[in-house]
Amino acid sequence: MFPKPETVTSQADALAKGSTTSGDLIRTALRRAEERADLNAFVSLDSDVVLDQARASDARRSAGTTLSPIDGVPVAIKDNYLTRDFPTTACSRALPRAAIGVDATVVANLRAAGAIIFGKTNMHEWAFGATNATSSIGPTRNPHNTDHITGGSSGGSAAAVAAGIVGAALGSDTGGSVRIPSAACGVYGFKPTYGRASRHGVLPLSWSLDAPGPIARSLDDLALLLPFFLGSDPNDTATARATPFEKQSAPDSPIILNLVGKGLERSEEVDLAVRTALNRGGASMKDTTIPHMRSFFAAWEAILHVEASSYHEKLLTDEPAAFTSVTRAHLEAGRQITALQAMHAQKLRACFIELLLNGLGEWDVLALPTLPVPAPKNGQDRQSFGGRDVTTQDSMTWFCWPGNLAGLPCISLPVDTSTNGLPISMMLMGRPGKDESLLEIAYQFDNVR
């Protein structure tokens, strides 16, 4: 089903050794994109545009003026990042009212490093959903089994990486939208600490929850890409104190808390896979329960809906029919939340952060499955696991929203395969600002697969 895996790291090494060219990489990626058109992973892809970028990269390399190790490597871009050479639609008929002909900061950073901006990927409309089933161009399909969803909202990015079209792609994460499709498609996804990665030029869903992040085929790829995400940006005041990426060592004996209990249920198969991965990793690990999870979930949901409705207020008033009925219903629900309810949600958020950081004792990492079940089938409305019966939408965000509500760095990595051949992934959440340490700890579990 898949071509021989090619990581960003292996592509960069091949370019450095002269065993391939950027033109070769791009032509291969274009061919694979055509072969896997059934995935519906791309919104826009212009072969002339990307081949022009590749020719410029190869000319730099020939002249000895290579810009960075990833000069010439293709990276796909989620369709809510502004890009100067591709339109940005957020996969909606309610088109963005945003600057044309400019790049989001992360895209600009990658372009300055010589990376090839390889088209725009399919996504859940305006990132307001976790299935990737609602899109102006139709749903994305899972490369492992096209009868199953990719998860969302960055479903096209994860599908393109999992199918071997590109080694990496950009996503955005408000309640798991980098980690959810990464897990469903069996690749790696990283959500940085809130305020360490610039949101400038990434169309918002909920500005106090949003974080841009990479999706890739390996942890080494994430390490190569994170420097282009992390750091201060004058265009995003939330990053005013952000530090750039700096490689760090993992703690000698990291303390891992495995989060379980009410509100954190999962299928037996997923639980076994995650526990096995944690035990093989050899870390100090114990089970811990967090009380009142459903109340904290309600707080995350209220903040998300209020901020999304506020951002879309004018368009929702002027052109409500431009949104799909599903997205419009979410936005209308946000309008019904009162100021007092919104303030109460923010108070709960503060309590949740205090509980995680100071109420659980010492820890370096909080561990969870990324998803409570393997990727559901297309059109499945509900999921049952651990005595719970919930909507598919809620099942996808079941474990991921805490990282956004608390602003923690999070990584999703594949750890096993289900009995029906779909990926099972584990999520690790670190302390705020400890993105590099979290990445290093993840190697401890990835190396034992």
Burial pattern 144-177, b for ≥16 Cβ within 10 A else e, equals bbbebbbbbbbbbbbbbbbbbbbbbbbbbbbbbb
Is 22 known to be catalytic? no
Q: Give the CA distances from residue 343 to residues 150, 303, 348, in Å, rounded to whole numbers and listed in that order.
A: 34, 9, 9
Tokens of 227: 């420097």
Beta strand segments in 69-222, E: 74-78, 116-121, 168-173, 188-191, 211-216
DSSP label of 149:
B
Is 384 known to be catalytic? no
Say how many C-beta atoms besides its own lie within 10 A of residue 35's C-beta.
13
The residues near 159 (Cβ < 8 Å, ≥ 6 apart) are 39, 41, 121, 122, 140, 141, 142, 143, 150, 181, 185
Which is nearest to 227 in space by CA: 198, 258, 187, 259? 198
Burial pattern 38-49, b for ≥16 Cβ within 10 A else e, equals ebbbbbbbeeeb
* Cα–Cα distance for residue pair 445/239, rounded to 1 Å: 30
Q: How wide is the angle at C-alpha 107 spanned by C-alphas 104 and 109, nearest 5°?
A: 110
Among residues 44, 78, 157, 395, the one annotated as catalytic is 78
The residues near 305 (Cβ < 8 Å, ≥ 6 apart) are 330, 331, 333, 334, 337
* Cα–Cα distance for residue pair 287/285, rounded to 1 Å: 7
Among residues 10, 135, 177, 395, the one annotated as catalytic is 177
CB of 391 closer than 8 Å to CB of 129: no
Is 78 known to be catalytic? yes
Among residues 153, 157, 395, 437, the one annotated as catalytic is 153
CB of 163 closer than 8 Å to CB of 184: no
CB of 403 closer than 8 Å to CB of 176: yes
HSE on the CB side for 240, CA within 13 Å?
Answer: 2
Q: Which residues are tagged catalytic?
A: 78, 153, 177
